[in-house]
Amino acid sequence: MNLPLTQEQIMIREMVHEFSQSEIEPVAQEYNLKGEFPAAIVKKLGKLGLYGMMVPEHYGGSGAGAVSYILALQEIAFSCASVAVTLSVTNLTTEPILAFGTEEQKERFLIPMASGEYIGAFALTEPDAGSDPSGLKTSAVKRGDRYILNGTKQFITNGAYAGLFILIARTSPDKNGLTAFIIPAGTKGLIIGREEKKMGLNASNTVGIVLDECEVPESLVLGRPGMGLRIALNALDSGRIGIASQAVGMLNACLHEALSYAGQRRQFGRPIIKHQSIQNMIADVGVDYEAAGLLTWSAASLKDAKRPFSREAAIAKLFATEALNRGAYAALQVFGGYGYIKEYKIERLYRDARVTTIYEGTSEIQRMVIARELEKA
């Protein structure tokens, strides 16, 4: 894809491309088939500085910015969508600390995360509150200088491996009654539940969490009490650029797989890429890849320019993830029966694609956000 990138952005993309091709691509299939969390790779991403790309140098990051970050994420997602979501969710925890944290919180948590010491988890969803966070029931009751948290969180990516959680809980019954907390792993009363068995993203970790009289000091409130919804929505705006990038990287992988298979596979005396129906499918995936990439780059560029990007992030997430699902369907079709066999990467891409239109806001919720933003304009 031809984007107007700086020399630094090109260098970062090449560096992550090389890393992903040499360290992730050869082992991704095996980790996914076994359903194993690739802890060693996740550690290496940290050493490479990928968790600190949005963190300024002052807190141990590189401050490389949103465009560099999406390029890196796309390269990782090309090889393994599970590793990409691990990175994307970690970023979902560093950015709110950067935006809303106290100096003490930034020093304490951003420095180790940016240096790759641990990854993060973002705990918003509950059994009865998914698309609508106003239904959150996890309670946080103030007792002296501490909060006591009780409740259940559902579908928490990285949960069993995270060093810290950004967790949203209810501190009062009213609309503005949500508060964000930073909870270090190992805090008493934060209980990691069983791992979900998923259709795809089998090398990523997804767990439930129980909070049972979990005590969190007041000093670990992120922002102020009552700011939880704002902090979560703000984080999700950035998170959507991350998921859009994951989809762009996967779409590129679909295109790559379809092109190389269609060039080799012969039917009716010629490579199937010479049949017009196959060409049409491949052309459509190529167009979707370009369009999704441009929308994602545009949202990230606005973010780097410190301009509003909520609408563009939602548009990029909606388009890229829907395009990925179309693209994975078409690319698998190009493989014929072989696409249905686990040995082929396209089979994994097809399953991994499915969740991208669901998490960090379903396509229906993106449309709500986009319509609301269009109405305001």
Ligand X SMILES: Cc1cc2nc3c(=O)[nH]c(=O)nc-3n(C[C@H](O)[C@H](O)[C@H](O)COP(=O)(O)OP(=O)(O)OC[C@H]3O[C@@H](n4cnc5c(N)ncnc54)[C@H](O)[C@@H]3O)c2cc1C
* Closest of 95, 96, 108 to residue 217, by C-alpha: 108
- Residue closest to 25 by CA, chosen among 74, 78, 70: 78
| Interaction between residue 110 and ligand X (CB under 6 A) | no
Which of 23, 95, 257, 360 is catalytic? The answer is 360
Query: What is the total count of residues that contact ligand X (CB under 6 A)?
Result: 21
The minimum distance between CB 57 and ligand X, in angstroms, equals 28
Choice from 124, 164, 214, 255 touching ligand X (CB under 6 A)? 124
Is residue 8 flagged as an active site residue? no
* Residue 70 near residue 84, CB atoms below 8 Å: no
Among 131, 219, 264, 279, the residue binding ligand X under the rule CB under 6 A is 131
Contact between 108 and ligand X per CB under 6 A: no
Q: How far is CA 288 from CA 301, 313, 316, in A?
A: 20, 17, 12
Tell me the CA end-to-end span of the chain in Å, nearest whole number. Answer: 30
Decide whether 125 or 296 has the Cβ nearer to ligand X. Answer: 125
24 binds ligand X (CB under 6 A): no
CB neighbour list of residue 75: distance below 8 Å, 6 or more residues apart: 13, 16, 17, 19, 20, 249
Binding span for ligand X by CB under 6 A among 135-143, 154-162, 254-262, 321-329: 154-162
Q: How far is the CB of 348 from ligand X (least distance, A)?
A: 15
Compare residues 20 and 206 and give the one whose CB is closer to ligand X.
206
Q: Which of 164, 352, 360, 370 binds ligand X (CB under 6 A)?
A: 360
Which CB sits closer to ligand X, 27 or 358? 358
247 is a site residue for ligand X (CB under 6 A): no
Query: Across the chain, how many H-helices and E-strands are there?
Result: 12, 10
Give the C-alpha distances (Å, rounded to integers) separating 285 from 166, 315, 348, 362: 36, 18, 17, 22
Q: Which two tokens stand for residue 307?
A: 């301009």
Amino acid at 312: E
Footprint on residues 174-213 left by ligand X (CB under 6 A): 198, 201, 206
Q: List residues with catalytic annotation.
A: 360
Residues found near ligand X in the complex (CB under 6 A): 89, 122-125, 130-131, 155-157, 198, 201, 206, 355, 358-362, 364-365
